[in-house]
Every structure is written in structure tokens, then in C-alpha cells.
Amino acid sequence: MSSPLVLSVTPAAAETDVVLGTQIVVTFDQEIDATTLTENTFSLTGPGMLTLTPGQVSPADPGRESITGTFIFDQDANGRTVVRFNPAVPLRKDTEYSVLLLGGSSLLSSDAIKNVAAEAMVESYEWTFKTGSLNVILPPDPAPLPAQVSYLDPKQIVVVPGRIMGNDLAQEIQIIFPEAIDEASVDLNELLVAIEPILGDLGVAVPNNIQATVRVSGRRMTVLLRGW
């Protein structure tokens, strides 16, 4: 066998905006001896740390933070070891973290990650990532639902037919709603005036010079039509 190598890591090297609660996942190119991948050969450290070997980083060291956790070992379809590390404490948001996998080239430790044939990784493997603010364990508050919009039932609206007002043949139409209406919501551009066909004659049209004015009082709308 050859010395083991790291194929991929999650989060990726230099990745930013990493979701809080994400596992640290390492995939090797072959089967690894699980007894050699421990907190002596693996370290996850927070900001402000000088990491030389995992054994030199301790929670008791002033100003340093070493994050412990649990390992889960698995194998993919090709028999390669996949290691998942679950931190024992939540990672902080908007913070850069460093991960170190110890190889046999370290001059400060005799420990190293090895395969099942006891061959050690030649070089140590280290990468960093930065968390964001989204938490996979505590998801953000859902967006509020849009406000409920109620609509008038046309059957509740009463229309009083128009009547002649004065010598200019102006027509006044009363529209009565079930509740008081907002005068600001009345748009004359949305007011459609039409004449029912007389004896089925679809050629009857509304005169072009007709003018409409609207007056609102409570639940009553008065439409005055001029220019017949």
C-alpha cells in the first residue's frame, strides 16, 4: 500500500459563510486505521491560535480554543475511509477556524494518521474555513406570511339605477357597499362606463365626451355622469 492522502474535505479550504452546525468531513484515498485518527492527530481550533500540533493546543491555554468532539467513521463504495467530526460545542458565527490532520513529517510529535498497513500520512494536512450566521440546528425565523386580503362579494353591493339631474341630462348612480369604503382607494381610471345594447344592437357606444365624477360618503358612492 501507499501512504494515505486526503481526497476531499468539507467545509472546503478557504470556504466562507459556512453554516453553523456543519460537520467536518474528511475523505481519504484508502482505508484508514481508525485508532490513529483521534484528538492527538486531529485538531479543530478557533481564532488567535498558534497550532503546531494537536497536542499543543489545549482548552486550558490562555487565549486559545481547542474544540473537542466525536468522530464517526464510514467507508464509501470504493472502501475509502470517510470521517465525520461533530464539534462538542457550537461554532461561533463569522469566525475563522483551522483544521489540522497530523502526518508523519511532524518533528514535534510521533503520532500520525495511518492506514491499515501502518503507513503514515507523509505530510500534515491543514486548511481553514469561515462560518457565516445561518445555523442548521437553529434555523432562522420563517418569513411572515403575506397579510390576508379580503374581497367584497359582488352580491353585497347594491346599485341604484341612474336618474336625470337637470337640463344637461346628467345621470346619477348610487352604489351602496356593505361597509364604509376608503375614498383614497377610488381611482377614476378604473371606472368603466358602458351602455347595455339596445335590442341586441352591439353598435351602441358610450359617447366620447362623457365625464364622470365620484363622491364617497361612508359606504355610499355617488357617480355623476355628464356629457351625454
Which amino acid belongs to residue 194?
A: A
- Band of residue 157 on the pLDDT scale cut at 50, 70, 90: confident
Asked, for residue 43, whether it belongs to a domain, the answer is yes
Phi and psi, residue 160, nearest 5°? -95, 120
Chain centroid to CA 85: 25
For residues 39 and 102, state if they share a domain. Answer: yes
For residues 113 and 164, state if they share a domain. Answer: no
Domain boundary among the residues 105, 135, 165 is at 135
For residues 102 and 36, state if they share a domain. Answer: yes
Instruction: Output the CA–CA distances (angstroms, integers) from residue 220 to 52, 171, 191, 193, in the order listed.
Output: 82, 16, 16, 18
Instruction: Output the CA–CA distances (angstroms, integers) from residue 84 to 73, 80, 197, in the order listed.
Output: 7, 13, 78
Of 64-73, 103-112, 120-129, which one has max mean pLDDT? Answer: 120-129
For residues 164 and 124, state if they share a domain. Answer: no
Domain boundary among the residues 135, 163, 183 is at 135
For cell 420563517, name the residue. 142
Nearest residue to 221 via CA among 165, 163, 159, 168: 159
Cα torsion through 101, 107, 108, 112, rounded to 10: 40
At 74, list the grid cell: 464510514
At 173, list the grid cell: 348612480
Chain centroid to CA 177: 43
Residue 183 three-state SS:
helix
Asked, for residue 97, whether it belongs to a domain, the answer is yes
Please tell me the distance from the alpha carbon of residue 49 to that of residue 212, in angstroms, as a whole number: 78
Which amino acid belongs to residue 210?
A: I
Nearest residue to 62 via CA among 50, 74, 73, 54: 50
Structural domains in the chain (count): 2
Please tell me the distance from the alpha carbon of residue 55 to that of residue 61, in angstroms, as a whole number: 12
45-61 pLDDT, tens digit per residue, is 987 655 444 545 444 44
CATH number of the domain to which 118 belongs = 2.60.40.1220
pTM of the full predicted structure? 0.56
Residue 139 has pLDDT above 70, yes or no: no
For residues 127 and 46, state if they share a domain. Answer: yes
For residues 116 and 169, state if they share a domain. Answer: no
For residues 168 and 57, state if they share a domain. Answer: no
> Please, what is the end-to-end C-alpha distance for the chain in angstroms?
100
Domain hosting 163: range is 155-226
Q: Which residues pair with 25 in a beta bridge?
A: 10, 84
User: By mean pLDDT, which of 78-87, 160-169, 178-187 is the weakest?
Assistant: 160-169
Report the pLDDT value the prediction gives residue 117, as an integer from 0 to 100.
Answer: 96
Please tell me the distance from the alpha carbon of residue 108 to that of residue 91, in angstroms, as a whole number: 28
Top-confidence residue, 36 or 166 = 36
For residues 39 and 115, state if they share a domain. Answer: yes
Asked, for residue 142, whether it belongs to a domain, the answer is no
